[in-house]
Amino acid sequence: MNNAVIAGARLFDGERFLEDHALVIEGGRIKAIVPEAEVSGRGDVTRLDGGILAPGFIDVQVNGGGGRLLNNDPSPETFLVIARAHRLYGTTALLPTLITDTREVTRAAISAAVEAAKMDEGVIGIHLEGPHLAPAKRGAHLAELMRPITDDDVEELCRAAEAMPVVHITVAAEQVTPEQVATLSRAGVIVSLGHTDCSCEDALRLFNAGVRGITHLFNAMSALSHRAPGLVGAALDAGQIWGGIIADGHHVDAVALRVALRAKRGPGRLFHVTDAMSLVGSEAESFELNGRKVRREPGEVCSKLVLDDGTLAGSDLDMASGVRFGVQRLELSVEESLRMACAYPASYLGIEKERGFLRPGSRADCVHLTDDLRVQRVWMAGREG
């Protein structure tokens, strides 16, 4: 049984700060949030020296970490290595992400995700970013492996959604039909648009069919202009759509992100993702991606990861750094930047009853941060580590 009482920090419950309150954990779940005075005499209190106690972060898009890249070794062990690497930065739940690859690698990654999700070590499913993307917006993906989604693909994805908590896919409007999106959505697959040059009208048709989000706003998608709003405009104006942002100082200018954050119509929200590669939690300076070398270049918030031709290839970002960037450069309140790392991704994925908030009945996944948002300690289901 994972029982504990944690006190001594400002408690952020996923929505607001609670002063002078303690977290009571029983059986790995939150039993109660009570005034600290009610637990002052207990012998099982873990007393923190100030700072913030917040829900553990949730990363919807993470390609690697700890020296491992999912595409290079789609095994259960790789899923767990990635999860352990990002736990150091406050992430307690994540979707390891496979970018465009062959059918064989994709199937291996799905099978490995099923096994890794059973181990309850932070892996909650998988994000397939491809291969159903548009070559015109390929980014660092291999265009020759991109293809339309088939009915067989849809069936495989629907089966996968029955076998693990979360299956999230990024598709291009050019490679999928509204009927296929509707089938996937009904089966519980979370469908996101990305790596697409679609029109605003095409995006709206797919939103109405069941698309729930967009992948890394602004990057590898049709831009917002005054007569052609593109996917960016469609996503910001559609209230039901959620979207990830990569707040690393490289992928999107801070001015553009500030404008987008002010413009986004709710209830859908923008939330932090890392798009992290294998170098997070590693001392290496480069790695291989589909046979191509990706190297680190210096950056203010984190390093910049580029191919030899200068194309961005994922990020070197961790979630805590993204939260700090939100406060320091995007002019967000601490509460809002924290929500973008826990509450909003949980709501997007439909797991808000389990994760993303500190409230009675939810998992005791939490992170202790300094007042300047640096990770001190992490708990998963009440266990520290």
* Active site residues per annotation: 275
Residue 276 gets which letter from DSSP? B
Gap between the Cα atoms of 24 and 34, Å rounded: 8
CB 210 within 8 A of CB 170: no
Radius of gyration of the chain (CA): 20
Query: Looking at beta carbons, which pairs linking 37-43 to residues 24 or more positions away fall under 8 Å?
Result: 39/5, 39/7, 42/5
DSSP track, 78-134: HHHHHHHHHHTTTEEEEEEEEES--HHHHHHHHHHHHHHHHT-SSB-EEEEE-SS--
User: For residues 212-227, b (16+ Cβ closer than 10 Å) or e, as one string?
Assistant: bbbbbbbbbbbebeee
Gap between the Cα atoms of 218 and 251, Å rounded: 8
